[in-house]
Amino acid sequence: MATFQLDIVTPEKTIYSGDVEQVQAPGADGGFGVLARHQPMLAALAIGQVVFTQADGTNHKLAVSGGFANVSGDGMTVLAETAEMAQEIDIERARVARDRARSRLSDRGQVDMDRAQAALSRATWRLRTCGAE
Amino acid sequence: MANLRELRTRVSSIKNIQRVTNAMQLVAAARMRRAQEAITSARPYAQQLDRVLQQLSGSVDPSSHPLFLDRGDARTVYVVVSSDRGLCGGFNTNVCRAGFGSVQADDSVVTVGRKARNFFGNRNVTVANDHADVFRELSFAQAVTIADDVKSRFLAGTVDRVFLVYNEFVSVATQQPVVEQLLPIVPKEVEGSNSEEYLFEPSPEVLLDTLVPRHVNFQVWRALLESNAGEQASRMRAMDNATKNAGELIEDLTREMNKERQASITLELMDIIGGAEAVA
């Protein structure tokens, strides 16, 4: 199968750079898949997981916290403020973050509901990506 | 002339200081290398962010976003990035002075790092917020916290202009304090619009809304990285000088100590010779 260049970059470091066969990404308007020679596209990403398949058939998963996917003639770039490969996720920390977000959401007096909701969603996706639940 | 024992204690205490400054220099050098690497690893993200902006500007005018809105310069907030710890030469003084020189009567500051908080706290300047203890474990989340803080002030209309004041890491030998406008965003000339047929999902406007705040976050992150590398470089040089000075001091004191010891030996010899002559 034809491959294309995928780069996943965050402000802290480049998470992945290499050839892949296909990528699935959580678009803001629903998930989408990208194969080689896709039409150029700029898409906003939601909090969720990116799955890509390398040429040798191995699958990799990462949890991303929103951002952009830029598909152009020379490949695809995922820009995210945070992105973690499944094997690098700190399960304990994600659990703590999820519980904290849940308790904030149940407290009605909170002003920052959107933020707590986003935190909950980030933590849940991190746990789901590394297969902890 | 000081006596021998006093000199000996001074030499040994200076040697201890020298050991400490030397260790600090080595630690600062290692941290500086790491900080420089962090600057390098932020570069691909910056390039991609610029590319996305360029692609968007073909279909939507970026300056229509509220974070680009120029309301004149009535109230300004200066985000002054200093360090949490001292012993780094003129690093903090330079950046605080640069910030202090620009502050007008109605302006306020948001400080990053303990040193700037203390500096502005002692002067007649409104400190709107302070973010301390950022540099021990520098992460992008901290840049976002600071950026969100000033973005919400700007969007709420309590401030009309936001400046970043930080030390730019020019080279290991030079750190230059710079005052940069963060908000409203200064529109950059985008060269050459895109001719490719681009799909935008969901729409260029929504994409712009996602992009612009991230651009601001990244500017703050870059300032933190530059400042962090600069702090370590500045500390490295300060400690190198301190180690050298201690070496010179030790040399001078040792010379004096030897002179003193020789004098006392001569004196004792004279006593013995005098005694021997008296007996003979």
Residue B68: its pLDDT value, please?
Answer: 85
The whole-number average pLDDT for the span A25-39 is 90
Cα nearest neighbour of B204 on chain A: A42
Question: B126-131 and B161-169: which strand pairing?
Answer: unpaired
Picking from B162, B187, B158, the residue whose alpha carbon sits closest to that of residue B102 is B162
Task: Give the integer Cα–Cα distance in Å for B199 and A27.
Answer: 13
How far B241 CA sits from the closest chain A CA (Å)?
Answer: 33
Of A38-52, A54-68, A101-115, B69-83, the poorest mean pLDDT is in A101-115
Asked if residue A110 has pLDDT above 70, the reply is no
Beta-carbon neighbour count of residue B279 at 10 Å? 5
**Is domain A4-86 in CATH 2.60.15.10, yes or no?**
yes
Residue B2: its pLDDT value, please?
Answer: 57
pLDDT (tens place) for every residue of chain B, 280 residues total: 458 888 999 999 999 999 999 999 999 999 999 999 999 999 999 988 888 888 887 777 777 888 888 887 678 999 999 999 889 888 999 999 998 988 887 888 999 999 999 998 888 888 888 898 888 888 898 999 999 999 999 998 888 999 999 999 998 888 999 998 998 888 776 665 555 678 888 888 888 888 889 999 999 999 999 999 999 999 999 999 999 999 999 999 999 999 999 998 999 999 999 998 888 7
**Partners of A100 in the β-ladder:** none
Q: Alpha helices, DSSP H only, in B103-203?
A: 114-121, 140-156
Picking from B215, B188, B212, the residue whose alpha carbon sits closest to that of residue B66 is B212
Q: Where do the domains of chain B lie, and which CATH numbers do they carry?
A: 62-187+197-237 (3.40.1380.10)
Question: A14-25 and A41-54: which strand pairing?
Answer: antiparallel
How far A92 CA sits from the closest chain B CA (Å)?
Answer: 19
Residue B184: its pLDDT value, please?
Answer: 86
Task: Give the integer Cα–Cα distance in Å for A118 and A98.
Answer: 10
Contact A40 B196 (CB under 8 A): yes
Identify whether the C-beta of residue B84 lies closer than 8 Å to the C-beta of residue B116: no
Read off the DSSP letter of residue B122.
T
Residue B194: its pLDDT value, please?
Answer: 56
Tell me the domain boundaries of chain A: 4-86, 91-129
Contact with chain B for residue A103, Cβ under 8 A: no
Picking from B128, B91, B95, B93, the residue whose alpha carbon sits closest to that of residue B109 is B128
Q: Which of A13, A41, A82 sits opposite B198 (nearest CB)?
A: A41
Residue B193: its pLDDT value, please?
Answer: 56
Residue B217: its pLDDT value, please?
Answer: 93
